[in-house]
C-alpha cells in the first residue's frame, strides 16, 4: 500500500540546539505508528511539524497542515463551552464545509453524543481527551498526530482511548502518536520510531526492536528500548564504556 504521509530529511534547530536531524519515514493508511524515546528526544517537535504547527528548518512533509489532524498534549479546549460548542467552533475555524454535520459525526464517532451539551469543565479526563482527539478529527483528515494522548488518563480511560484510536485506524486513518508508555506502544502500534537527541535510530515493528535488542530485552519492550539506546544512542550521551 502506498504512503499517506512521507517525511523527508526533516531537521529542526532551536538556535544552537539541533532538535531533529535528518528524519525520514513514511506512514501508510490505517497504520498506528508510535514515536518513543527519552525526554527531549524531539517527539513533540516532530509531531508538531507534521501537523503544521511549526515549520521545519529543512526537509519536507508530504501533507499540508489542513490534511493532518492534531491533538496536542495540553488540550486547547474552552472549558465553559459545551462539547458540541467546542466542536462547532473548531469546525468553523477549520472551515469545514458543513460544520453542524461534522459535529454530529464526531459526537457519534467519539461516543460523546449524550454529553454534547455538557460544559467541557465538567467532563472526566478521559472524555476531555476524547474531545481533544475529536477536534483533531473534525476536518476528517487522512492523518492524525497525537502528542502523548494517554499521559493523564487512568487505565480504564486509557483502554477506551486506545479502543477508539484503534477503530480510527481500522477505518483507514493513519495515526502517529508519541508516548512514554512503551508497553502501550508494544500493544497498540504497528510500528515504532525510536528518536534520541533528534536522530531516528529505529523504524520497524515492536517485535523487530525486541529482536534487535537481543537477549537482554526479552519480551519487554521497555527493557529492550533501554538496551537498544545504550548501544545505539548518539555518542554525546552514551555512558562510559
Query: Which residues have C-beta within 8 Å of that of residue 165, sequence separation ≥ 6?
Result: 32, 133, 146, 149, 175, 177, 188
181 binds ligand ATP, rule: CB under 6 A: no
Q: Shortest gap between Cβ of 43 and ligand ATP (angstroms)?
A: 3
The stretch near ligand ATP (CB under 6 A) out of 33-41, 155-163, 208-216, 230-238 is 33-41
Task: Report the distance separating Cα 130 and Cα 110, nearest Å.
Answer: 7
Q: Shortest gap between Cβ of 28 and ligand ATP (angstroms)?
A: 24
Are residues 213 and 36 in contact, defined by beta-carbon separation less than 8 angstroms?
no
Pick from 14, 108, 214, 234 the residue near ligand ATP by CB under 6 A: 14
Pick from 9, 17, 121, 205 the residue near ligand ATP by CB under 6 A: 17
Torsion sign (Cα): 96, 101, 107, 110: negative
Query: By rule CB under 6 A, what string of x and - marks binding of each residue 45-84 to ligand ATP?
Result: x---------------------------------------
Complex with ligand ATP: residue 39 or 235, whichever CB lies closer:
39
Which segments of the chain does DSSP mark as H helices, in order? 43-50, 83-93, 99-110, 125-137, 155-170, 182-188, 206-213, 221-232
Q: Shortest gap between Cβ of 24 and ligand ATP (angstroms)?
A: 17
Query: Which residue, 131, 145, 123, 191, is CA-closest to 51?
Result: 145
DSSP state of 73: S
Pick from 3, 30, 40, 94 the residue near ligand ATP by CB under 6 A: 40
Are residues 46 and 23 in contact, defined by beta-carbon separation less than 8 angstroms?
yes
Q: Terminal CA-to-CA distance of the chain, rounded, Å? A: 43
The stretch near ligand ATP (CB under 6 A) out of 34-42, 76-84, 89-97, 134-142 is 34-42
Q: Shortest gap between Cβ of 40 and ligand ATP (angstroms)?
A: 4
Are residues 48 and 54 in contact, defined by beta-carbon separation less than 8 angstroms?
yes
Complex with ligand ATP: residue 44 or 57, whichever CB lies closer:
44
Task: Report the distance separating Cα 67 and Cα 144, nearest Å.
Answer: 9
Binding site for ligand ATP (CB under 6 A): 14, 17, 19, 37, 39-45
Amino acid at each position: 500500500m502506498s504512503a499517506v504521509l512521507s517525511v523527508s530529511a526533516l531537521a529542526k534547530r532551536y538556535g544552537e540546539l539541533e532538535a531533529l536531524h535528518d528524519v525520514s519515514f513514511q506512514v501508510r493508511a490505517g497504520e498506528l505508528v508510535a514515536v518513543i524515546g527519552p525526554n527531549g528526544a524531539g517527539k513533540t517537535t516532530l509531531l508538531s511539524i507534521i501537523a503544521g504547527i511549526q515549520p521545519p528548518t529543512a526537509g519536507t512533509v508530504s501533507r499540508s497542515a489542513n490534511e493532518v489532524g492534531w491533538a496536542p498534549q495540553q488540550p486547547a479546549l474552552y472549558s465553559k463551552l459545551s462539547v458540541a460548542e467546542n466542536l462547532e467552533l473548531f469546525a468553523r475555524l477549520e472551515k469545514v464545509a458543513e460544520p453542524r454535520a461534522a459535529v454530529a459525526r464526531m459526537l457519534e464517532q467519539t461516543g460523546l453524543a449524550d454529553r454534547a451539551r455538557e460544559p467541557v469543565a465538567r467532563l472526566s479526563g478521559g472524555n476531555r481527551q476524547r474531545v481533544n482527539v475529536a477536534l483533531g478529527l473534525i476536518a476528517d483528515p487522512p492523518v492524525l498526530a497525537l502528542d502523548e494522548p494517554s499521559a493523564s488518563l487512568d487505565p480504564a480511560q486509557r483502554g477506551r482511548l486506545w479502543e477508539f484510536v484503534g477503530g480510527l485506524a481500522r477505518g483507514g486513518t493513519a495515526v502517529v502518536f508519541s508516548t512514554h508508555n512503551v508497553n502501550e506502544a508494544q500493544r497498540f502500534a504497528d510500528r515504532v520510531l525510536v528518536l534520541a537527541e533528534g536522530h531516528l535510530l529505529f523504524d520497524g515493528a515492536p517485535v523487530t526492536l525486541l529482536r534487535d535488542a537481543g537477549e537482554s530485552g526479552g519480551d519487554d519492550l521497555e527493557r529492550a528500548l533501554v538496551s537498544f539506546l545504550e548501544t545505539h544512542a548518539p555518542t554525546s550521551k552514551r555512558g562510559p564504556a
